[in-house]
A = this chain, B = another copy of it.
Amino acid sequence: MANIREIAEAAGVSITTVSRVLNGHPYVKAEKRKKVLDTIERLEYARNVHAVHLSKGFSNMIGVVLPTISLPYFSELIEGIAEEAAKSEVHFALYQTNYQLEKETFALEQLKHRQVDGLIFCSKAMSDEELLNWRDTGPFILCQDSRERLFSTVSIPHHEAFRRGLDFLIEKGHKKIAIGLARKHGVNSHYRLEAYKEALAAIGEPYRDEWVFERSLTIADGQTLFSAWSRMDDKPTAIFVANDQVSAGLYLEARKHQVQIPENLAILSCDNQPISELLGISTIEIKTKEMGRHAFRLLQKGIRGEEAEKKILPYRLIERSTV
């Protein structure tokens, strides 16, 4: 593989001049520019990016940290990031964590080693406090609703949105409401639980631990949730779950067992993925792809050294036929 020196020699100019045409700088005589370009073409020269990165001090590559790629919510988020990244010609590496702390630490370490210019946390297990220790390592942003003002974040107002869903169920006459959370200790789950307790208090219902389901993420989790529900003596009349995969599993399993929806059981979820539309499941829409786009832009700002910023995205309740 030819390098810049060989191109310079072959074209009869200096290395500096080659570098200038490579970077589209002005102040190169048209004739020389052409000669360099021709030589590059003829020798099939391709710039070695590692040398460029070392010289420039950055790599135009960011890291995306997420628990798993195979949940529609996350793949949609990535699509948004990818679209925006492509426009700016930046690459991204994926760090799949399964919510393991050491995997998240690994990603931060990569940031420290300058493997990436910045990090987008789609969701994380690490506490805000701990993440704060990494602040000087390099720029990163969260796709979560964090109250820590030093973090740049993009998200919907989780507390408010979840409360909206609960109030909707209450308006429809439900008092016995169960919820399904993605994780026990997640930040979003924390806000959702808060909203849940408030809503119960507002209608004078007691809080019951057994009506809070955890680890509800996948279709299979939705099926499990149905089994749990059907085994209960005192059954909730409505279940509000974290995403459309869970509600799809729950809904289809319920129908399989001749449970009438919404008469015997009302179902509400979040995200508005295609499957919820197909099954007619009521849900709270989140513009996930849009969120990905904003995440990328926010990170770019961080990389440029701008101050932390909180971007709040809208959400919308979509009534279909399961409530």
Which residues 51-110 in A have Cβ within 8 Å of B in the complex? 51, 53-54, 59, 61, 68-70, 72, 75-76, 78-79, 82, 86, 91-94, 96, 109-110
On chain A, which size bracket covers the interface?
35 or more
Q: Would you call the interface of chain A mostly helix, strand, loop, or mixed? A: helix
A48 touches which one: B75, B82, B93, B114 (CB < 8 A)?
B114
Asked if A274 and B220 make an inter-chain contact with CB atoms under 8 angstroms apart, the answer reads yes
A275 surroundings in chain B (CB, below 8 A) = 219, 275
Q: How far is the CB of A45 from chain B (nearest CB, A)?
A: 10
Enumerate chain B residues within 8 angstroms of A69, measured Cβ to Cβ. Answer: 69, 75, 78-79, 82
List chain B residues, Cβ under 8 A from A228: none
A96 cross-chain contacts in B, Cβ below 8 A: 79, 82, 86
Q: Give the most central of A91, A110, A115: most B CB within 10 Å.
A: A115
Residues of B within 8 A of A92 (CB): 93-94
Shortest Cβ distance from A249 into chain B, in angstroms?
A: 6
Q: Mark A96-139, 1 if CB is under 8 A from B, else 0.
A: 10000000000001101111000000000000000000000000
Asked if A259 lies at the interface with its beta carbon under 8 angstroms from chain B, I say no
Q: In this assembly, does A4 line the interface, its C-beta being within 8 Å of a C-beta of chain B?
A: no
Pick the residue among B48, B68, B76, B109 that contacts A113 (CB under 8 A): B48
Residues from chain B with Cβ under 8 Å of A82 in the complex: 69, 94, 96
Tell yes or no: A320 within 8 A of B by CB: no
The CA-CA distance from A93 to B53 in the complex, in Å, is: 16
A91's partner among B76, B114, B115, B278 (CB-CB below 8 A) is B115
Nearest B residue to A55, CB-CB: B50
Query: Of the candidates B50, B70, B91, B278, which one forms a contact with A93 in the assembled complex, judged by CB atoms under 8 Å apart?
Result: B91
> Which residues of the partner chain B approach A78 to less than 8 Å between Cβ atoms?
69, 94
A120 to chain B, nearest CB (A): 13
Residue in B79, B253, B274, B278 whose beta carbon sits within 8 Å of that of A68 in the complex: B79
Q: With the chains together, A259 CA to B46 CA distance in Å?
A: 58
| Chain B residue at minimal CB-CB distance from A115 | B49
Known: A53-B54, A69-B78, A92-B93. 6 other contacts (CB 8 A): A48-B114, A70-B79, A91-B110, A219-B275, A252-B278, A252-B279
